[in-house]
Amino acid sequence: MKQYVTLFALTIITFLFSLPTQAVRELGTDQEITHLLQNADFQNQFQGWTLTQQGGSLVIQENTQGICEVQSEGCEFTLEQTITDLPDGIYELQIDGYYAAEAMPQSTLHGSMICLNEMKNVLMTSSEYTTENPTNRIVAKPEDGKLTVKIKGLRIASTTDVTVFSNLRLFYRGSGETGLMACRDVEAKIKDRAATLLSCGSKEITDYRQHPMCQVSLTNDLRNEVLNKNNYGTVDAMLQHLDKIGSLFSSISESRMVYISLMQNVLQTENTANLLIANRLLTEEQYNNAKQVLDTATQGYTAGSLTKQDIENKQKEIDALSGLPKFVGSFMQISTPNDLCSFSVLVNEGMRTLDAQLTKDINMAGISNFQPIGMYSQTNEEYSDFYTNSYGGTFDGQGYQILNLNIQTNFEGGLFGRCYRAKINKVGLANITVSCTGAQTCGPLAGTLMQTQVANCYVAGKIQVNTNGEKKTEFVGEGAWNTVLENCYTLGNRLICATAAELNNCYGGTEATKAVASGELCYKLNKGETVSPIFFQTLGKDAYPVLLSDHEIVRRTSDGIYYNGDDENAIISAETDSKPTKLNVQQPIYDLSGRRLTSKPQKGLYIQGGKVRR
């Protein structure tokens, strides 16, 4: 009897564990099964979803109807999750939402996509979206009982592209004839989507972001597939047809993305070439060669004849043009005096937020025509609007120095004239002369900083600042409007004039000059950090702290002596110069803890004459 009870109990347990699977396997036609997805309404943010994200922002907010809405701007992302143990048949995914290139409310450019297993459909554009018709649809069959729901956010036109979606629903549409009818219903909607997609492209260069060209062979293939008169009498045949359309949607979107990238590069390079030759920073031969390469690329764009690989090759050809700036991402690479002069010209001619990186030390000796980056003047009406004439990009010195810079200007003076919302990091200036005509604000690094962040920068060597204005210093003339300076120093008299700027761990005047030779200044700039310091100084060799790690780390003993190396290597302290100090019994001897010894120890390190010795 006991054996039968045990067997009965096991049967009941087996039945109970099988209930979820049985419930899934007994689906009715047109039954909504959204509940099988975890957090389908995004009430718990992205819980239950696998999220990958690159750049931009991705947030969830309630809309005016109280529905949680996923909103992205300038973001490439993928959200996905998989349901298992599903019966065979047709499933339909519905999502309300749209894609808006450059956040334009009437954009006709498609980008982001919804996917169900391998089936794809583009989200409707902002011009197609209405509150009466908000829904995007896609159908698919499970593979081995698995169904993967995926939303793929793309950034086709710019960093202001927007994707918005909500109200995700999943349905079981049945199999056989009922499944085929559901596929045909979705096909009609997808063909409407294809008509909008095919009408988007334009050969007009000025409209390349909103109506970009793409590889014409792809749009021809899509047009032929959409116009195909085949009745597709089976579910499998219809799914193959929809799969081909979805794959072409994806390929056309990717093609338009690289066509936009090509034309952006062409127009930027063309503008750059025109500005540089006008300022005699490009030769006629270099200009003509650039024009030929750019014209060929433009012809390929308007003809739609370029494949993705063709465009990659064209981009490399443009990037390799002699005399023109090189870019890594958005950052112009500065490796020569000509590059630095070119950068100044481009910013001052309107590219106010252009980013740049130094790739080596720049010696500006002999360059007499350099003008401050961000030209501003209160007395010159053409340059008196700081919103349009200030520099507002990111300048990353990567630890390198600009040497022997000589600036003669009628504007606010320094490497930068006036900055507004800029970021300047890890730049060194050595041996700099700034001469400003008229009552201008002057400083070697910048004349005026407004809402600007400056970190890990310095001015050293010979420093001359000449102006008949009151606001001049040996670092920054004036800091205002929430400007922040951090871990900076100058070996001149003053760091900054009376200012509203926030100064964190910055040094100038005698506070810096009296501490520089010993290594104290370097140590203070690093706030005592010796594992991952920012500033370095080979004591006895470097006249001032620098930002490159091929120089030595400065450490301090317990009694305040600064030295290089570690406890196993005796390194010359900068208490004295690098010449050997003659030992004698009159010089006191200390251990590394600062305790005075009566004689030199037999083993280990000791301090004598301001040096760590062995």
**pLDDT over threshold 50, residue 455:** yes
Domain extents in the chain: 31-259, 325-516
- The fraction of the chain above a pLDDT of 90, given in percent, is 72
- The confidence score (pLDDT) of residue 26 equals 80
- The confidence score (pLDDT) of residue 613 equals 63
Sheet architecture: strand order including 596-597:
596-597, 589-590, 606-608, 611-613
10 Å Cβ neighbour count for 447? 33
166, 70 contact by CB (below 8 A) = yes
Under CATH, to which class is 325-516 assigned? mainly beta
Higher pLDDT among residues 576 and 141, named by residue: 141
**Residue range 156-198, pLDDT digits in tens:** 998 899 999 999 999 999 999 999 999 999 999 999 999 999 9
Averaged over 509-520, what is the pLDDT?
A: 95
Structure tokens at 611: 């040096």
- The confidence score (pLDDT) of residue 19 equals 38
pTM reported for the whole predicted model: 0.76
- The confidence score (pLDDT) of residue 497 equals 81
**pLDDT over threshold 60, residue 403:** yes
Instruction: Give the burial class of 414: count Cβ atoms within 10 A of its Cβ; 0-12 exposed, 13-18 middle, 19 or more buried.
Output: buried
Q: What is the CATH number of domain 31-259?
A: 2.60.120.260
Averaged over 245-249, what is the pLDDT?
A: 97
Whole-number Å distance between alpha carbons of 57 and 55: 7
Structure tokens at 81: 């999750």
**Residue range 369-380, pLDDT digits in tens:** 899 999 865 555
Percentages helix, strand, coil for the chain, rounded to the nearest 5? 30, 30, 45
- pLDDT band of 109, cuts 50, 70, 90: very high
- The confidence score (pLDDT) of residue 17 equals 38
**pLDDT over threshold 50, residue 327:** yes
**Residue range 58-72, pLDDT digits in tens:** 999 998 889 999 999
**Residue range 2-49, pLDDT digits in tens:** 444 444 444 443 443 333 333 455 899 999 999 999 999 999 999 999
